[in-house]
Structure 1
Amino acid sequence: MKIPGVPPAELADLVRAEDRISFLYLERSIVHRDSNAITSTDDRGVMHIPAASVGVLLLGPGTTITHQAIALLADHGATAVWVGERGVRYYAHGRTLAASSRLLVAQATAVSSRDRRLAVARAMYAMRFPGEDTGSLTMQQLRGKEGARVRRCYREHAERTGVAWRSRDYDRADFDSGDPINQALSAAHSCLYGIVHAVIVAIGASPGLGFVHTGHERSFVYDVADLYKAEITIPVAFDIAAGGSSDVSADTRRAVRDRVHDGGLLTRCVRDIRTLLLQTTHTGEIDEDWLEPDEVRLWDDSGVEIPSGRNYAGSSDVDF
């Protein structure tokens, strides 16, 4: 019996991940399919996007996507992520871009081993202290070092902008109870979390398996987002607070959106995650082949994976 629907593309016909448009953002448009292309229709007309050239399609406000378009993206090893305006705030995602579980297995393996987990955590802190040796520091020492760095960052931006700064003090359940700078920091960090979450799910990692943070469904999101706060969200928040905004939340979201729009954060975030989990060299290229064959194998306690799709009842290595 013939399986209904359009068959997926052959592996040889797919474009390597490093040659794709890593992330494409669309908003206020209707997303459909025309042959092997994704179409985006808005008041400016129709744009055709070859499905094989897209890594992740970020669907912003006002987008409507058809079943045919989603099926085409999936068949070409791409995914869709529903986000807020220009990529900030994460809402939901389709299938991961990764065709294998390699990154997820590496993450689970590392987080399950005390030594590996400590090594990844140290590597995360090392990214914040370039040129300094963090390889022998305990987690307590690293937390103290990071705390001093963040306090220094707050103080420097307070002096730069003239914003009065006391401490990071906010109520998760009552946004309006904070002063303008704390409101701006909360809004900015929320946007950053959305961007990082979208990247993590798109490349096949788990948002919940953190190395520094733990016990929360977004632990790894917080781990990765902390790498960029001092550079992106903290200065943005102080700029907004210094400007006397009448709508801190909305103005902060727009400022973060503009800050990351042309800054290469998405590509940088992918590279950093892969470097941390796969222990690869931190180079300018994302060299992982996300388009590995769609192969399912069976785990064996000998450490050797065996082929799936066959019945092992008559196998000589089966003992009943």
Structure 2
Amino acid sequence: MKSNRLLIRVDKEYLPQIKDRYPFVYLERGRLEVDDSSVKWIDSEGRVIPLPISTIQSLLLGPGTSVTHEAIKVLAMVNCMVSWVGEDSLLYYAAGQTPTQNTRNLVKQLTLYSDPQKRLKVAKKMFSYRFPNTDIDKKNLKELMGMEGIRVKNLYYDLSVKYDVLWHGRSYKPGEFQISDLTNKCITACNTALYSIINACVHSMGLSPKIGFIHSGSPLPFVYDIADLYKPYYSLDLAFCITKEMAGVYLAEKLRTAFVKRVVEGRLLEQIPKDISCILGLKNDNPNNE
């Protein structure tokens, strides 16, 4: 049976081989502990699954998980990062960095950011994804951001026509989610889920979500940079599409299910590390390999 879950429950057949190093493994409803000098996962059904943590770059701990002090110590020794997330990684809470984690990718990110010409080149690379048929080489960042504003504004209008949804403009204020109209609620919810997924991927690659190339002065500028590549389909199109189906009543579970379906079918969790590596020119999306 095909699962509609974004992340499947861990089982032996899904664990990485020694020749591989997975970017992350998602765990929920169980206990992570050490036994016989190895890290083991005990799920809610009592199954004990040894984890090859030396081949895993990051563990995402979902709802209902607990972890022992000794397990964290062993994970740190092998540079396996731990992140705490919501169900299916749709909410991102925190991450624990290991003291010996390789900083190659972070140094690369900082090097690109600190040089104005290289920073602009990275920004243009991101914009090239959105304007594939436009020559942007001679454009500056301000001009590109103006083009992006027009593109998004036109996209809102086109989607409102396509799905026959009344649109009065993007409106969102933190803490005032309930007073937004239905479409704006859906956009905000999809954006939040998208930011969480990207944040988890950014951390798992040893990069900083705070070093952005287009956005600045916000909590997660690099996450927002990358999210703009995927918003048109995973947030905006979905929000307008599902607004009509909800018939005026915001249904969180319906939206979540539709969002997860798109992420799974679009193989977004595989695409994000590839796009980030291409944009930053990373040799390998695994920061622990030299």
Shorter-chain TM range is 0.7 to 0.9
Q: Structure 1 length as normaliser, TM-score?
A: 0.76
Matched with 1:28 is 29
C-alpha distance in 2 between matches for 1:288 and 1:167: 38
2:206, 2:287 within 8 Å by CA — same for their partners in 1? no
Residues 76-129 of structure 1: per-residue CA shift (max 9 Å, x gap) = 322111111101111001226983222222222222222111111111101222
C-alpha distance in 1 between matches for 2:173 and 2:251: 16
Runs of 4+ with deviation above 6 angstroms: none
Q: Note the C-alpha offset of 1:23.
A: 2.1
Matched with 2:3 is none
Matched with 2:41 is 39
C-alpha distance in 2 between matches for 1:213 and 1:197: 15
Structure 1 residues 44 and 153 mapped into 2: Cα distance closer, same or farther (>3 Å)?
Answer: farther
Residues 113-158 of structure 1: per-residue CA shift (max 9 Å, x gap) = 2211111111110122234332221222211222232223323332
Alignment coverage as a number of residue pairs: 272
1:56, 1:202 within 8 Å by CA — same for their partners in 2? yes
2:81, 2:204 within 8 Å by CA — same for their partners in 1? yes
Matched with 1:213 is 215
Q: Note the C-alpha offset of 1:36.
A: 2.8
Larger radius of gyration: 1
Matched with 2:273 is 270
2:76, 2:100 within 8 Å by CA — same for their partners in 1? no
Q: Note the C-alpha offset of 1:27.
A: 1.5
**Aligned-residue RMSD, C-alpha:** 2.5
Secondary structure, aligned partner of 1:145: helix
Are 1:112 and 2:114 matched, yes or no? yes
Structure 1 residues 102 and 134 mapped into 2: Cα distance closer, same or farther (>3 Å)?
Answer: same
Structure 1 residues 82 and 102 mapped into 2: Cα distance closer, same or farther (>3 Å)?
Answer: same
Matched with 1:76 is 78
Matched with 2:12 is none
C-alpha distance in 2 between matches for 1:24 and 1:60: 11
Matched with 1:10 is none
Task: Give the helix-richer structure, 1 or 2.
Answer: 2
Residues 278-317 of structure 1: per-residue CA shift (max 9 Å, x gap) = x35xxxxx73553247xxxxxxxxxxxxxxxxxxxxxxxx
Are 1:287 and 2:288 matched, yes or no? no
Q: Note the C-alpha offset of 1:186.
A: 0.6
Matched with 1:310 is none
Unaligned stretches of 5+ residues in structure 2: 1-16
Structure 1 residues 235 and 97 mapped into 2: Cα distance closer, same or farther (>3 Å)?
Answer: farther
Q: Structure 2 length as normaliser, TM-score?
A: 0.83
C-alpha distance in 2 between matches for 1:222 and 1:193: 7
Matched with 1:258 is 261
